[in-house]
Every structure is written in structure tokens, then in C-alpha cells.
Amino acid sequence: MLKHIRKQVRMYETKFSFGAASALITNMGLIMGLLATVNARVNIIASVLVIALADNISDSFGIHVYQESERLSRKEVWFSTGTNFLTRFLVSMVFVGFVYFLPINIAVICSLIYGLLLLSFISYIIGRDEDENPLYAVFEHLAIALFVILLSEFVGRMIVH
């Protein structure tokens, strides 16, 4: 019984961590890339909403098709599809809330803190569950996120200037 419960919890963690990590890194990169634009607040909100819907549906559909090709049960395929979509959407709406309700400079700081902290937490759990040094997983995932953030900011500044 305990083994079955652990397996179920692990399945939920896996579905959540995939969608959340993707949404976190995408949105932090998007915010930093669009920060230098005219009307940054409007551009960021519109872009995050488009990503939260169009890219999210596309990504969830890709997962759906992949898992069907892996011959997983219909229940697991739809669970993965729905969990991925909902997780990415909810994570993205937090970024929208920051940018909509806070001054843009504060919103960017809050977005980066929120994104990096949640990514660190997810990474720590993954590292711990994989019986490796959880700090290595945190470092590795934060390094990737920071690379995306810095690259996005660079590209945004190059386009604007």
C-alpha cells in the first residue's frame, strides 16, 4: 500500500515539475527580453498570456501525442496533458499578476525571485528523490535558468538598441 502511494505521489511530482520548470524558465526569459521595449508592461503581459495559452496548448498536445505513442493508458495520458497545462498556466498567471499589479521594476525583481526560488525547490526535490546531491541539481537547473535569462535580456537589448 505504501509503495503504491509513493508511486502516485511521484507521478504528481513529475507532472508538476515538468510543467512548472518549463513555465518558470520561459516566463523569466520573456520578461527579461521584453523589459527594454516601449510599453514593457503591456508587451510582457500580452506575451506571457500568449505563451500561457498557445505555447502551453502546443506543449501539452506534444506530451499527449508522445505518451500515446508510448502506449500509456488513456487515463495517464489525459492526466499528464491536463496537469502540464494547468501547472504551466497557473505559474504563468503569477507572473502576469506581478507585472500587472506592481511597478515594472519591482515586478521584474519579484518575478525573478519567485521563479528562481520555485525552480530551486523543484530542483531540490528532484535531486533528493534521485538519490544524488540535491544541491547539484539546484545548481545545474539555476545555471540553465540564468543562462536563458541573461541571453534573453541580451537579445532584447540588442533588438531595441
Percent of the chain with pLDDT over 70: 89
User: CA 154, 159, 160, 161 torsion: positive or negative?
Assistant: positive
**What's the average model confidence in pLDDT over 65-69?**
85
Q: What is the pLDDT of residue 96?
A: 97
Asked whether residue 15 is domain-assigned, the answer is no
**What's the average model confidence in pLDDT over 43-47?**
95
Q: Is the pLDDT of residue 5 over 60?
A: no
**What's the average model confidence in pLDDT over 81-85?**
88
Asked whether residue 106 is domain-assigned, the answer is yes
Mean pLDDT of the chain, nearest integer = 88
Asked whether residue 119 is domain-assigned, the answer is yes
Q: What is the pLDDT of residue 142?
A: 96
Domain count, the chain: 1
Q: What is the pLDDT of residue 8?
A: 56
pLDDT of 109-130, one tens digit each? 999 999 999 999 999 988 888 8
pTM: 0.86
How many CB atoms within 10 Å of residue 159? 11
Q: Is the pLDDT of residue 67 over 80?
A: yes
Asked whether residue 52 is domain-assigned, the answer is yes
Q: Give the CA count within 13 Å in the CB-facing half-sphere of 69.
A: 6
Q: Is the pLDDT of residue 12 over 70?
A: no
**Helix, strand, or coil here: 43?**
helix
Domain enclosing residue 33, as ranges: 24-154
User: CA 111, 117, 122, 123 torsion: positive or negative?
Assistant: positive
Asked whether residue 161 is domain-assigned, the answer is no
Q: What is the pLDDT of residue 3?
A: 61
Asked whether residue 9 is domain-assigned, the answer is no
